[in-house]
A = this chain, B = another copy of it.
Amino acid sequence: MGSQARVGIVGASGYGGIQLVRLLTEHPNVDLVFLGGEGSAGKAMSEIYPHLHHRGMGDIELVNLEEIAQRAEIVFLALPNGLAVKMAPELVEKGCKVLDLSADYRFSDLSTYTQWYRTTHPRPEVAEQAVYGLPELYRDRISSAQLIGCPGCYPTASLLALAPLLKQGLIQPESAIIDAKSGTSGGGRQGKLNLLHAEAEGTLGAYGVARHRHTPEIEQICSRLAGNEIMVQFTPHLVPMTRGILSTVYATLRDPGLVTEDLLTIFNVFYRHAPWVQILPSGVYPQTKWAWGTNLCYIGIEVDQRTGRVVVMSAIDNLMKGQAGQAVQCLNLMMGWPEDLGLPKLSFYP
């Protein structure tokens, strides 16, 4: 076999799927050999996404794990929560590397998963091998993993903002409040009334307050970083834009003498090997549009010396670093390729 890795996507017709199709089509080391779906099986990709008309993507095929495993050595699962638990174990056993974009393999504590997602793992021993696919924290483990549970969009933005603070013990852990704002593509490609343009345009509101499922995912990683179990306050909001997440994170500093420049230094050091994290200069705060279409996470920091708190703002493209781009970043690590291979670095602007 040649130098190209053979890759398949299950769930190619959703927003996660179409991002993967785009990224993997342009990835220099990848040969995209399988596009799978359920309801969309039998349709040409260009029927669902007519802008692909000129790219001759071929048809979406009905999912058959046996055949996928024969054709592809790597499989991305871009499905609703609760479906990967049935597919991933079989694919792993047949020798595929699997990157799951759902919540199914994000939790090392499976009881937390079951409690918040009301799904059980038929093969818990497989779930326990899965690695949380946040490369900035788990680069080494991802490199040698066979099964990746790719992070949620909110957790990605929130954890990149919090990780240096928790890891270095700079904040009172339970003081962390995450006020997160997402574009509407985060709701997926489904005909829900609250996601209609006429409902979502020109308005803003919170949802899932004190009970959004990304809360335990954030807490799991924060607890690992802090070294003990901690809880965070997490509130998501829906913003009238298609893409982007901004997390505004508040936390009380343990040492009130720290100033903005101190934290900028700490963040820069913490992320010195992370090609996809950009710490902004003092006084510059990230706009979600800067990350649009790229795998970047922009981070701005401000210490409020009056109140003794730090405010960290992180901006990502929810479908890229928040989903498909990060999965490809994990793929690069798993294959020993450069971490930034095939991923867009420079946003369009405006």
Contacts and interface: CB of A to CB of B under 8 A. Distances in A.
A interface, by DSSP: helix, strand, loop or mixed? mixed
Contact of A204 (B15, B53, B246, B296): B246
A346 B203 contact: no
B203 A244 contact: yes
A307 interface: yes
Contacts of A202: 201-202, 241-244, 288-289, 292
Contacts of A254: none
Contacts of A302: 209-210
Nearest to A180: B179
Nearest to A176: B307
B350 A307 contact: no
B53 A281 contact: yes
A200 B203 contact: no
Contacts of A280: 50, 53
Q: Of A51, A190, A304, which is in contact with the most chain B CB atoms at under 10 Å from its CB?
A: A51
A286 B192 CA distance: 18
Interface in A149-196: 174, 177, 179, 181, 183-185, 187, 189-193, 195-196
Interface in A52-71: 52-55
A243 B348 CA distance: 10
Contacts of A189: 193, 196, 198-199, 350
A198 B198 contact: no
Contacts of A18: 349
Contacts of A309: 177, 233
A283 to B, nearest CB: 9
B198 A246 contact: no
A309 B232 CA distance: 11
A199 B50 CA distance: 13
A7 to B, nearest CB: 16
B307 A231 contact: yes
Given A183-B198, A287-B204, A192 B191 contact: yes
Contact of A231 (B205, B306, B311, B315): B306
Interface in A235-263: 235, 237, 239-244, 246, 248, 250
A290 interface: yes
A286 to B, nearest CB: 6
A250 to B, nearest CB: 5
Given A191-B195, A209-B304, 5 more contacts: A15-B350, A197-B200, A198-B242, A202-B292, A293-B348
15 contacts: A22-B349, A51-B298, A53-B298, A184-B201, A195-B198, A197-B201, A201-B201, A201-B240, A202-B244, A204-B288, A206-B311, A210-B304, A233-B309, A235-B311, A293-B348
Interface of A: 15, 18-19, 22, 25-26, 49-55, 174, 177, 179, 181, 183-185, 187, 189-193, 195-207, 209-210, 231-233, 235, 237, 239-244, 246, 248, 250, 278, 280-281, 284-293, 296, 298, 300, 302-307, 309, 311, 313, 315, 345-350
- Which 4 A-B pairs rank lowest in CB-CB distance, beginning with the nearest? A191-B191, A51-B290, A203-B289, A210-B304
